[in-house]
Amino acid sequence: MKNILITGADGFIGSHLTEKLVSEGKNITSLVYYNSFNHWGWLENVNCKNDINVILGDIRDYDFCKKITKNQDVVINLAALIAIPYSYQAVSSYVETNINGTLNLCQAARENSVSQLITISTSEVYGSANYVPIDESHPTKPQSPYSASKIAADAIAMSFFNSFDLPLTIARPFNTYGPRQSARAIIPTIITQILSGNEELKLGDINPKRDFTYVEDTCEGIALLIGEKKTFGEIINIGSNNEYSIQDIINLIKEIMAKDIKIIRDNQRVRPQKSEVMRLKCDNTKLIELTGFSPSIDIKEGLKRTINWLSIDENLAKYKTNIYNV
Ligand SMILES: NC(=O)c1ccc[n+]([C@@H]2O[C@H](COP(=O)([O-])OP(=O)(O)OC[C@H]3O[C@@H](n4cnc5c(N)ncnc54)[C@H](O)[C@@H]3O)[C@@H](O)[C@H]2O)c1
């Protein structure tokens, strides 16, 4: 399990996972979403830049997927369109990327006899919790086109395990946060607005509750699945088994940053009522039992690290703090 292809390696979680697996001595090929600037996204900022094989391309292209999965032991698919608000506007591109992209990688992994394909799902597939903590038997409910595309992607992938014995593991992270997360996510949105000196914090609904997991713990959870045959054909939650409302997170950030700031409800950020997922809390028992996973960064420490990273001018400059990032 030495040669590993990570798709979406240019993104938030993918760049951290790349760094982690390089530090563990793996041979990493990192797929960056094709762009004419030859920009490597967050991989531009990693220390292991010279120790990875970077390729640019697109998971929507089957022939390309077939080519890049050749001679790989493990393929980890993090490439996706992930913003919920943008999924209201561009449903077809979510279908193309998240569903067809996953199908392409399943077919390519099968053709090339890859030893393990790990696809990355999301807790959003569960919709507002019927019960907490949410275990893997909880029903799924597509409350957004993003969630629907991930439910379908998971189903396609699982059908390849059931029909063709594809060595497949589906990892299902809950909300992940930390350095390099885009401003469309709630924690960077709050911190960057405060850091840029705004008098008011513009937000959508602050009542939803989430299980927040620091990015290093999410990556640890994914890394522990590599080479674990007992995870084949399984869906496995990755999360901390905690629960905080957005209001709780605002209070913690205000306390750490020693800033008081007024919250303004910005209607363009409020999701349609039936679409907003009100509660997600992870039951991570399966991951713990299968791998011995133990999240190590609590919310206060994780928020401090995220605030410290965003407080560096060079990092904050990458965020457009005064506009709403869909
Ligand atoms: N961030 C979270 O809280 C969270 C929680 C649960 C699950 N996930 C899942 O984790 C994965 C990574 O999420 P992230 O937060 O790092 O998001 P991200 O947007 O930072 O990373 C996704 C990457 O995929 C790339 N990409 C998009 N379309 C592509 C295509 N057609 N071909 C190749 N690359 C393409 C993008 O360039 C982007 O860098 C996604 O599958 C997401 O659904 C994220």
pLDDT at site 198: 86
Q: Using alpha carbons, select from 181, 16, 183 the residue that is nearest to residue 86.
A: 183
For CATH 3.90.25.10, list the domain ranges present in the chain.
182-210+243-283+300-316
Q: Give the 3-state secondary structure of residue 3.
A: strand
3-176+213-238 CATH pick, 3.40.50.970, 3.40.50.720, 1.10.10.10, 3.30.420.40: 3.40.50.720
| pLDDT for residue 199 | 85
Helix and strand totals (H; E) in the chain: 12, 13
What is the distance between the alpha carbons of residues 76 and 98, in angstroms, rounded to a whole number?
Answer: 14
Predicted pLDDT at 323: 82
In 3D, which of 46, 61, 50, 51 has the Cα closest to residue 7?
61
Strand partners, 119: 77, 170
What is the mean pLDDT of the segment spanning 52-69?
98
The atom number, within ligand 1, closest to the CA of 97 reads 31
Burial zone of 75 (CB within 10 Å; 0-12 exposed, 13-18 middle, 19+ buried) = buried
3-state helix, strand, coil split of the chain in percent (to 5) is 45, 15, 40
Q: Are the C-beta atoms of 241 and 284 separated by less than 8 Å? A: yes
Instruction: Find the range with the poorest average confidence among 3-17, 254-268, 292-306.
Output: 254-268
> Across residues 209-232, what is the average pLDDT?
98
The pairing of beta strand 244-245 with beta strand 209-210: antiparallel
CA distances from 223 to 23, 72, 126, 232, 299 (A): 12, 16, 23, 14, 21
pLDDT surpasses 80 at 33? yes
- Give which of 217, 216, 290, 227 is closest to 75, Cα–Cα: 227
pLDDT for residue 322 is more than 80? no
What is the assigned CATH class of domain 182-210+243-283+300-316? alpha beta
Q: Are 282 and 133 in contact (CB under 8 A)?
A: yes
What is the pLDDT at residue 321?
82
CA distances for 150 relative to 136, 208, 254, angstroms: 15, 21, 34
Q: What is the pLDDT of residue 24?
A: 97
C-alpha 179/C-alpha 6 separation (Å) is 19
Which pLDDT band, with edges at 50, 70 and 90, does 319 fall under? very high
Write the residue with the smallest CA distance to atom 39 of ligand 1.
11
Say what the pLDDT of residue 300 is: 98
Ligand 1 centre from 198 Cα, in Å?
29
Q: How many Å lie between the centroid of ligand 1 and the Cα of residue 82?
A: 6
User: Where would I find the beta strands (DSSP E) of 34-142?
Assistant: 53-57, 74-77, 116-120
Q: Is the pLDDT of residue 103 over 90?
A: yes
The reported pTM is 0.98
Q: Which one-letter amino acid corresponds to residue 32? A: V
Is 121 exposed, middle or buried, given 0-12, 13-18 or 19+ CB atoms closer than 10 A? buried
What residue's CA is closest to ligand 1, atom 30?
Answer: 58
| pLDDT grade for 18, boundaries at 50, 70 and 90 | very high
CA 138 to chain centre: 20
**CATH 3.40.50.720 occupies which residues in the chain?**
3-176+213-238
- Tell me the best of 10, 13, 93, 119 to mutate to test the pocket of ligand 1, counting ligand atoms within 8 Å of each CB and taking the most: 13
| CB-based contact 208:279 (threshold 8 Å) | yes
